[in-house]
Structures are given as structure tokens and as C-alpha cells.
Structure 1
Amino acid sequence: MIRLGTRRSALATAQATLVADQLRALGHEVELVPIVTTGDVNLAPMQQIGGTGVFVSALRDALMAHEIDIAVHSLKDLPTIPVEGLTVGAIPVREDPRDVLVARDGLTLGELQTGALVGTGSARRVAMLEALGLGLELTGIRGNVDTRIKLVTDGKLDAVVLARAGLSRLGRLDEVTETLDPIQVLPAPGQGALGIECRADDTDVLAALAPLEDPATRAAVTAERQMMATLEAGCSAPVGALAEVVEGEDGPELWLRGALGQDDGVRRLSANGPVDDPVALGIALANELLERE
């Protein structure tokens, strides 16, 4: 029996169930174990409650205490600093990493009027939306997907910005009024990907997780997260990154786009490198972003 720890939210449960079903299809017995995290019970702004790690620390504690065997995280919520004794045993195929708009009356970003009230709890999204110069009024929000979308349907906000992957996993893509081009709003590092964490010495669980691994997704998110780590930025910082495996002149290569929010706007750069060295690519692009300050 593999005990899978998950947060109680609808999205976290959907993600955990997705992984559980994949493991069951491989012949494993899986039990879902609900865990309450700081980020679930404290709805203060992310920067006030610590940002990085508020959704994962309780799951990691349960892993270390042998109360669960694996934990499924949204990779964008997982701190880049490793924890001794734990490892990300598998990163499955990534969902669409882009952000989406859910707006009243089916409006797109360009159709929102100057002064339209748009909700997001992300410093990254705020920086990138402000850089577009659309004159939107941005306001901080927290809560699950239902809570955020209800702010629009109840008329309290004109729109909210969310991750497309979450709505896809919840079967709610029909509520999206626009999928935002990464040229406008670059996703968070690791957005759309899941990280399945386990104890580093649990060879049986590592073997069970191996078929779920997608090498291209791991290479991409490793570059993105290394860029963020090199910038010494937590997941609540105004950093965007998106890497993709593309076909180069000499075979597959990794293309990484990065963005860093600054007082004077958003700085964007891109770079490419070998698929088998995503760490070096992330470091190089982060250093270039820092040099352009």
C-alpha cells in the first residue's frame, strides 16, 4: 500500500487522484491521506506568511515521520532548496503552463476597460500585467479556485488571473475567457507540473514512481527552478520562467525564457542550451538577468 499525502483542497485532491490512478493502473494499491498545511488555514497574503513552502511543509513533515509514503505538490509551490532525506521521485508530463483570464461577460484582457478591477495573489502576475500598460486596477486575493472565480460571478471583480493547469485538472476550462500568451505574462517556474516527493531511501516507492517520470518535463522545470534559485527568489517573487525542449540544428535542445519584475518594469531574456544540463542554463540566464539590472 502506498500512502499518498494531499492537501484537502479540490485542486490538490484532483492532482493527487490523478497520480493515484496512474499508480493503480500500474498495479499498486494507493490510499489518499489528507493533510492540512499552513497555506490552507492562513489566508493572509503569501508574503506575510512566508511565501515559499507554506503549502508543502506539513506534507514533508508527514513524509519524514513515515505517516505517508509520497506527497504530490504543485511544483511551482515547492521550494528550490532540497530537504535532506527527501527527493522528487517523479515529475510527470506537464499540463499547459500558461496563465488564463476568467472575466465577466466573456471579456479578454484587451477588452477590459481602464480601471477594471483584476484579482491575483501573485507578485509575478502583478508585475507583468502592470508592464502591459493597460491601466488595470490590480488587487490581491487568496483562496481556492471556487473562491476566486466567485469574486467575478458575484460582481466584486471584473476578472481574475489563474493557472490554466489547475482549471484543466478541475474540468473547468469552459470558464476561461482568454489563455494568456507567455509573451504577455510568463508563467511561474514549474507552473503546470507536478512533483511527487518521497523519502530518498525508499527504493520500493522510487521504483513504483519511475514509470511516471517525463524526462522532458524534468529538464524544463529544472532549468526554470534553477533560474529562480540563482536569483535567490522565492515562489512569491516577481519571477517568470518557461523552458521547452525544442529541435535544434544538432538535435534536441532546451530553450529558456526568463523574466524578472523590477521597479522600472519587467526585464525579459532568453537562452538555449543542452537538454542534459538544465542547471547550467538556469544559472546562466539568471546571471544575465542580474547583470542587466
Structure 2
Amino acid sequence: MNAVIRVGTRGSALAMAQTTAIATRIGSAAKAEIEIVPVTTHGDTSRESLASIGGTGVFASALRESLLADECDLIVHSLKDLPTGDYAGLRLAATPKRADARDTLCARDGHTLETLPEGARVGTGSPRRIAQLRARRPDLDIVDIRGNIDSRLARVSDDFAADDPQRLDAVLLAAAGLGRLGKLEHVTEYLDLYEWPTAPGQGSLAIEVRAGALDRGLSTALEAVNHGATAATTLAERLVLAGLEAGCSAPVGATASIDNELFFLTATVYSLDGMRSITSSHAASPESHSAAHLAEAARDVAERVVAELLGNGAAELAAVKGTP
């Protein structure tokens, strides 16, 4: 076992916080020292909207190239930012237990989505969230924003005068990110997953390694941090994206869960203007909670959900390419 495990991550405050937490667990399980290796990605440096820079892979490619170049031993991603296709020379080695997958509203004066005044300025950089906002509150002024959590929250603070064009009345942010940074006090509303589905894999982390055999100590450590239910439910959600041939910035929400021996998956595809949506829900009964049986159930429900979505016109509704 190497004396030091080098862990690659984006350099943002959120990425560093979530990576440090999981890397500490890996180091403890492997009985090794940890070195955090920050990597700057295109998504970190570009100020353009996610849709205009392609969305898919903008936060992942530089990390993956760093791993292939042997500049680190493993890399930690936010799973929702990870493209669904295989990447030559790498493999997904572990999916730690998921944090809160919900979106939140962080608004002035304790407002919720229902109580925000007409014309309120709400910031988000996600095409899915934009579509959902337009569907729920077409009277709002939606502002396409980028930046880290602190810079987004700052625009809802009193740092900006009432007539400053940078001032916002609310922002939409992931509960998981706020929780990992200790900023949940800014939340004025948690949005229910089944009314407001979030990005496939939201709230989850993914650990990638180079393909091939791992040192036994590191392999054992990754097995220790992997969470079977999270691996299976996020697999189902991501298979929806893969089946629709949609990028991780497409207006698609998906939620999978395991309850009372049933594996549930619901997915919704939105038109970009939020005026139309198509939803499909299916369930399966896995033979057991073994990794193999849960993965089989995930593939089963995802295949049926994708077929129904495409059969009902999802390819014409949004930027997805799949065919029924």
C-alpha cells in the first residue's frame, strides 16, 4: 500500500469540503496518509452558462486527465456532473452514501416559491431548474447565473442595493452542497423530490480510479465507503440520462428509491420553456438487496421509464436524442 493516497478534486470550496470528508474516511480505512490534489476544470474558469459550454463533462474532463496522467490515485466527482458514458482507462470504484438530494430555495424575507412576489428575480444556472421555475411560476424573472455557493447567496443579501442589477430575490441551490458547507440556515424552503425531481445523481459523490487492479488496501477502503442503495438508485437515475442520450445539463429530473422491498424510479423530461413535461414512473421487486440484484432492478426500471418517456414524445420535447 502506498504511504500516501493522492485524491484529485476540483478546487472550489464545496468540492474541497466534500472531497476532504470522504478522503479522510478512505485514508482511515486504508491506514494511509491522504494528499488532496486540486485540479482546475473548464467549468470552474468559464463564466458562460452551462448550456452554452456544453454542460456534459465540463467539470470532469480535467480531473480524469489528471488521473490518467498519474497525478493522483483517485478522483472525487459530484455524481450529477459526471457524464454517463464510459471513459477509456477509468472506472467508477465507489459511490458513498447519498446526502439530501433535494433542491432548496434561499430567498429574502423567508419567502417560499408560492409567496415570492410577482416579478421576483430568481437565480439559477440549471436548464432543469429554469424549466421547473417557469412551469411553477411563469411570472418570475429568472436570471441565468454561475458562480460558487457563496457568490450566489451574496446576491440575495443586503450587499446589493435595491436597484443593483446583480441583486436577486432568491436562488435555487442543492441541499447537499449547502449542508456540506454548513450553510443550511439560508434555506427558506426545501422542494419535495416527487413534485420537484432533481438531477440524476444529485447529492451523491463518485470515486473514479484507473482501470485495472488496485492495491488491496485501497480496494478494501473503497469497498468500505461504497453504499449499495446509493449505487443502485443513482445507477437507475443515470441510466435514464443515458437512455435518453441527454447530457447532465438537460432539463431532466429523476428520483429513485428503495422502500418496502420495491425499487421505484420516477423521471420527468421538461420542455426548455417549462410549459410541457412528460413523466414516467415504474417499480421493480429485486430478489434481494445484493449489489447484483439491485443493479438488475435499476436497469429494469430505467429501461421501462426511458421507453415510456420516448414513446410519449420526450425526444421532441427537449434536447434528448434517444429513439423509442
Q: TM-score range by the shorter chain?
A: over 0.9
| Displacement after TM superposition at 1:14 (Å) | 0.4
- C-alpha contact (below 8 Å) 1:96/1:165 kept by paired residues: yes
| Displacement after TM superposition at 1:183 (Å) | 3.3
Task: State the partner residue of 1:43.
Answer: 47
- C-alpha contact (below 8 Å) 1:92/1:193 kept by paired residues: yes
Aligned partner of 1:77 among 77, 81, 89: 81
Q: Distance in 1 between matches of 2:109 and 2:53?
A: 34
- C-alpha contact (below 8 Å) 1:127/1:265 kept by paired residues: no
Provide Cα deviations, 1:190-216, integer angstroms capped at 9, x if missing partner: 000000111121411333311111010
Provide Cα deviations, 1:87-131, integer angstroms capped at 9, x if missing partner: 111101000100000001111111101111101100101111211
Q: Distance in 2 between matches of 1:159 and 1:89?
A: 37
- C-alpha contact (below 8 Å) 1:223/1:281 kept by paired residues: yes
- C-alpha contact (below 8 Å) 2:194/2:255 kept by paired residues: no
Structural mapping, 1:180-191, within 5 Å = 180-191=191-202
Asked whether 1:162 is paired with 2:167, we answer: no
Asked whether 1:289 is paired with 2:313, we answer: no
Task: State the partner residue of 2:151.
Answer: 147
Deviates more, 1:201-210 or 1:182-191: 201-210
Tell which structure's C-alpha radius of gyration is larger: 2
Provide Cα deviations, 1:164-221, integer angstroms capped at 9, x if missing partner: 0000000111111111112332110000000011112141133331111101000000
Asked whether 1:109 is paired with 2:118, we answer: no
- C-alpha contact (below 8 Å) 1:132/1:184 kept by paired residues: no
* Root-mean-square deviation (Å): 1.3
Structural mapping, 1:76-225, within 5 Å = 76-133=80-137, 135-153=139-157, 154-155=159-160, 156-204=167-215, 205-225=218-238
Q: Distance in 1 between matches of 2:137 and 2:189?
A: 18
Task: State the partner residue of 2:316.
Answer: none
- C-alpha contact (below 8 Å) 1:114/1:134 kept by paired residues: no
Aligned partner of 1:256 among 248, 265, 271: 265
**Could you list the runs of 4 or more consecutive aligned residues of structure 1 that deviate by over 3 angstroms after TM superposition?**
none
Q: Distance in 2 between matches of 1:179 and 1:282?
A: 26
Q: Distance in 2 between matches of 1:6 and 1:98?
A: 23
| Displacement after TM superposition at 1:242 (Å) | 0.7
Letter in 2 for 1:206: S
Letter in 1 for 2:205: L
| Displacement after TM superposition at 1:280 (Å) | 2.5
Provide Cα deviations, 1:107-163, integer angstroms capped at 9, x if missing partner: 111110111110110010111121124521111000100111111113501100010
Letter in 2 for 1:16: T
Task: State the partner residue of 1:55.
Answer: 59
Q: Distance in 2 between matches of 1:63 and 1:73?
A: 12
Asked whether 1:2 is paired with 2:5, we answer: yes
Report the number of matched residues. Answer: 289
3-state secondary structure, aligned to 1:139: strand
Q: Distance in 1 between matches of 2:67 and 2:262?
A: 35
Q: Distance in 1 between matches of 2:303 and 2:134?
A: 27
- C-alpha contact (below 8 Å) 1:59/1:71 kept by paired residues: yes
Task: State the partner residue of 1:227.
Answer: 240
- TM-score, normalised to structure 2's length? 0.86
Aligned residues: percent identity?
Answer: 48
| Displacement after TM superposition at 1:83 (Å) | 0.7
Letter in 2 for 1:209: L
- C-alpha contact (below 8 Å) 2:51/2:127 kept by paired residues: no
Unpaired stretches in structure 1, ≥5 consecutive residues: none
